Structure 1
Amino acid sequence: MSAPVAVVTGASRGAGRGIARALGDLGATVYLTGRSASVADVAGEVDAGGGHGIGVVCDHRDDAAVAALFARVGEEQGRLDVLVNNAIALPSGLGDDQPFWERPLEHQSMFDVGLRSSYAAAWHAARLLIEARGLLVNTSSFGGGCYMHGPAYGAAKAGVDRLAHDFAVDLEPHGVTAISLWMGILRTERTLAALEADPDRYGDLAARTESVDFPGRVVAALWQHPERIRWSGQTVVAAELAVELGVTDVDGGQPPSHRPVLGGPPAVNPAIVR
């Protein structure tokens, strides 16, 4: 299999950064977006792993900037093998224990950069993905199936899960795989700061976290799987898919699935109404 051409949105830190690096390890050309020039640093990390990183400063609230991103990919590469919709506008105070009406109204920003941005990126990418019979991944979390961080976060995550399912319906005749990937508790800067600030609240949670590179390893392995289409339309738990694909974390460990505590992805009725 030739090295893929990929777009990873929201890749300046966290899971997006890890996913870009993991695809770079396959020798991929990775266009990675972020709102600041720090994406150039991540592009350098992709280069160091054997890929070709191209940092693109892009605000996914800006439709013109998103259109220009995918036009550039088409002009420079002529195809797109992998799209990972990871960008989301996570507001401050997301983990505060408050009812939604006491949270800032800016929490609705996740509907814009998170839900809407995933649709817009997929819309621009679809024809390129079809040419390559590619892979589309929406990153998500267990918040798509249980109460987590308030109604806005839950609705945004449930929304991208449903987008992946319905993208798959339209893309199936063209051989494109579309999934939503429920990540676990990632060791992001935000998570590590919360664990350090209130260790009594979170207990032994740190032992159940996974590296920011782990979801990327899962995405990379899925891309390489010759029968990846069989997962299309599904919302899958990264830790569970990792076991199927033989993927471990950077330390060689197997991160746990949080299904026993937080539940699994809700079922979607198979009916299709045109």
Structure 2
Amino acid sequence: MERFEAEAINTYDKKPKKWLRYVDDTFIIWPHGTEELDRFLNHLNSRHQNIRFTMEKERDGKLPFLDVMVRRKGDGSLGHAVYRKATHTNRYLNAMSHHHPAQKASVVSSLLHRAFTVSDADSLESEKRLLTTALRKNGYNQKMVLKRAENVAKLHARPPMERHTTEEDSMTPAAKLTIPYIAGTSERIARILKKHDVVTRFNCVTKIHDAVPGPKDQIPQELYEGVYQVPCSCGKSYAHVDCVLMLSGVTLLDVVGEILVGNTPVRNTPRELSRLVEIVSGDGG
């Protein structure tokens, strides 16, 4: 993708002032006008048949990018705040949920860390008020939330390289263990294990979806539809359409997966799959 970007930008006569990309989301500052921006988008989409860009322009001086709302200030500089979609409900792990207290505390801390990381000085206080209200509605004690906010503020007052390094973090435990969380019992087990330098993590014993039956009937594996297509450098494609190919009750996807992880030699695969397997595993042309 880096090569595509460099070639696309270098082959256009006007350049963006800023080009920042995270995976497949790109933030650019374009100083050449709206019409020229549309032409630049067409130029990007003409570079490769399988790469297509869509575009969202700023509205009222604001533009969301990932979880950041970027806004244009009166002096021309850019401000930033936490962005939430219109469908966001402010629902988080409820404080009454049967989870370890540390997991609930991490919900509060992670939201506050995001607030201090993303928000600028103008939007930080309003973001903290919003989080305090939302967490209170999710059952969290306001005093605990404010205490966490104070701790996070102290942490972010330190230099960035010192924020995530503590003496405890630098120590390697003898072992790490994940156990089901049962209130009152798991904590005692964790305290005993800690004496032996074993770090304990917790998971849920039962979740709601385990108790609620699925709303749909189970479909037999041999009736699943699918399309598998593997392009070849010769210009042809290998594909199987309509129904998943069954080989003694095993799907084509299962066979290829086994081969890719090294559990099945290529020479033992059926003849009709041998060429496909070579291509998928990188041994064929």
Q: If each structure's helix is expressed as a fraction of its own residues, which one has the higher value?
A: 1
Q: Which has the higher contact order (CA 8 A, sep 6+)?
A: 1
TM-score above 0.5, yes or no: no
TM-score (norm 2): 0.22
TM-score (norm 1): 0.22
Q: Which structure's CA Rg is the greater one?
A: 2
